[in-house]
Structure 1
Amino acid sequence: MMNEWYTEFIRVNLNAQPPPPPPIPQSVPMVPQGIDLERRNRLLVEKIRKHGAEEFRANKDDDPERAEFWLENTIRVFDEQSCTSEECLKCAISLLRDSAYYRWKTLVSLVPHEMVTWEFFQEEFRNKYISERFMDQKHKEFLNLKQGCMTIAEYEREFIRLSKYARECVSSEAKMHRRFEDGLNEDIRLSMGVLELKEFVVLVDQACKAEELIKEKKKTEVETRDARKRHASKSFPSQSKKSRDTYSRSHTSIGCLYRDCKKQDLDFKSRATSMASVDNVRSSKPECQHCGRNHFGKCRMKDGSCFWCSSQDHFIKDCPKMIDKEKFQGTRPSGTNSKGRLQKNV
């Protein structure tokens, strides 16, 4: 039975081609595992640099804020590329340069190999380049932060930047909301207090709108005040000119009055000086025991002589010399007074 079946199979498949032999496997060159790993690490480093990772060089005058920014930026790039902890450590070490790299090599030579992890790198980097004093300073800056001259957008940006140094103050949205609102300027803070907002994002948005309204109000007030000034200057030009003339005349009058007062003061001083000199002369004359006056020579009241010409024949009222003097004064022109000034016509 088996022979018949085989004979029939051969007869039917006489023209069929036999199946090809299986292919001979070719030898593949083996790549050392270390070389392949090094190539993959190099490609990964080039990739993270293209996405914003930068080298870090330590200097004497290093700014702690710059070091902190480098670490945070590097962590962000690693997270975007979904790097493992081992890849993060190797890439971070490859970004160190100069003294920063030498310090790391010295550090890892002093600790067990199993302790050298990505978390260990971050902790040691912070201890070296981001001091505790710097952290305390930023914490105080956040606690004292006020809007002041900043816009709402600038204040929000500074608030978010410094809030990472005081996590306990923004541990919940309610605390963050209250801290931000307390730092606003008074006019905006009063507007926000009336609204009783709960969400931080809504608070910032409403504060920006209130800020714009206040700016528009102040701008309108300034324009209105300037318009009133221009209208007043156009409506009363003559009055302003009159006030300027009055001001000029008043200052001229004050100047003349000052000169007159100064002249009177000088005249008074000269008269006082002359009177003082007369008093000095008088005080130098001896006092008469008969008439009580100060004079030299014999007393005319005692011997009854004329006080004008010293004659004992008559008194001063009958003195001929006094009569001649009065006649001479009476013959003066009528247009002049006793001081030689012209009299005014009445």
Structure 2
Amino acid sequence: MAQTIQNNQNNHPQQVLQVRDKRGEFLKGRPPTFNHSPDRLQADDWLRAVERQLEIAQCDDREKVLYASGQLQGAALDWWDSFQNGYPNTNQITWQVFRENFRSHHVPAGLMRLKRKEFLALKQGGMSVSEYRDKFTQLSRYAPNDVEADQDKQELFMEGLNDGLQYQLLSQSFANYQQLVDKALVIESKRRDMEAKKRKFQNQQLGSNSRPRFS
């Protein structure tokens, strides 16, 4: 019996669970620190960058608060210390609470409203489709509720396009926002090719008409 027990132990060694160093993985992504900036939108940029690294490291809610607050310095750290002192139980500060209070303190609500208005009024104008897409993506972060549904996002993007592109795209339907953008890019590229050929033809015609004629 003793031999049987020993054989079973040899055949099924105890598995050792390795504990992931989430803080190490978080810091490996080189998350930025934050102190203070005259550009209030940089605080929002910092929050998004840190949150992305926290997600990559697969941190839980409490770890997110601890690791993110560890990246605060100077005036931002003073705010965090003051916030904790006024909270009944610091262990119950969730990531959502941290995020909302950090943003409300460092990014004025009035500024967020202005950026949302800028997004809703965005037009392509003289921008290329890719430039307009990038600007649309950048400003859409200030209007998350307006682009939460893919169909709403498509409609807003379409409304900002120049009339010619809108006319060619309105008769079609797209499964998602990315398909709409891809189609707009293809049409723009085709238009540019056609315009380049037209200019080349006109230049050739102009050149032939300007040649001296001899009788």
Query: TM-score with structure 1 length normalisation?
Result: 0.52
Q: How many residues align?
A: 194
Which residue of structure 2 lines up, in the alignment, with residue 223 of structure 1? 200
Which residue of structure 2 lines up, in the alignment, with residue 211 of structure 1? 188
Superposed CA deviations along residues 298-343 of structure 1, whole A, max 9, x for unmatched, are xxxxxxxxxxxxxxxxxxxxxxxxxxxxxxxxxxxxxxxxxxxxxx
For the Cα contact (< 8 Å) 2:140–2:147, is it kept in 1?
A: yes
Aligned counterparts, 1:278-317, within 5 A: none
C-alpha distance in 1 between matches for 2:58 and 2:29: 13
- The two structures, once aligned, show a CA RMSD in angstroms of 2.1
Superposed CA deviations along residues 141-195 of structure 1, whole A, max 9, x for unmatched, are 1111111122212222222222232234323222222221111112211111233
Answer 1 or 2: higher relative contact order, Cα 8 Å, separation at least 6: 2
Cα distance, 1:195–1:117 mapped onto 2, change above 3 Å: closer
SS in 2 for 1:75: helix
Stretch moving more, 140-149 or 193-202:
193-202
Which residue of structure 2 lines up, in the alignment, with residue 244 of structure 1? none
Amino acid at match of 1:110: G
Unmatched runs of 5 consecutive residues or more in structure 2? 1-18
Which residue of structure 2 lines up, in the alignment, with residue 104 of structure 1? 80
Cα distance, 1:44–1:197 mapped onto 2, change above 3 Å: closer
SS in 1 for 2:211: helix
Superposed CA deviations along residues 269-321 of structure 1, whole A, max 9, x for unmatched, are xxxxxxxxxxxxxxxxxxxxxxxxxxxxxxxxxxxxxxxxxxxxxxxxxxxxx
Superposed CA deviations along residues 253-276 of structure 1, whole A, max 9, x for unmatched, are xxxxxxxxxxxxxxxxxxxxxxxx
Give identity over the alignment, percent: 25
Aligned counterparts, 1:32-181, within 5 A: 44-59=22-37, 61=38, 63-114=39-90, 115-181=92-158
Aligned counterparts, 1:235-314, within 5 A: 235-236=212-213
Which residue of structure 1 lines up, in the alignment, with residue 171 of structure 2? 194
Query: TM-score with structure 2 length normalisation?
Result: 0.81
For the Cα contact (< 8 Å) 1:45–1:94, is it kept in 2?
A: no
Cα distance, 1:82–1:180 mapped onto 2, change above 3 Å: same
For the Cα contact (< 8 Å) 2:22–2:57, is it kept in 1?
A: no
Larger gyration radius, structure 1 or structure 2: 1
C-alpha distance in 2 between matches for 1:78 and 1:128: 21
Which residue of structure 2 lines up, in the alignment, with residue 264 of structure 1? none
Which residue of structure 2 lines up, in the alignment, with residue 276 of structure 1? none
Amino acid at match of 2:197: T
Which residue of structure 2 lines up, in the alignment, with residue 283 of structure 1? none
Unmatched runs of 5 consecutive residues or more in structure 1? 1-39, 239-346
SS in 1 for 2:125: coil
For the Cα contact (< 8 Å) 1:177–1:198, is it kept in 2?
A: no
Amino acid at match of 1:68: D
Alpha-carbon deviation of 1:53?
A: 0.9
Amino acid at match of 1:58: H
C-alpha distance in 1 between matches for 2:186 and 2:199: 20
For the Cα contact (< 8 Å) 1:142–1:159, is it kept in 2?
A: yes
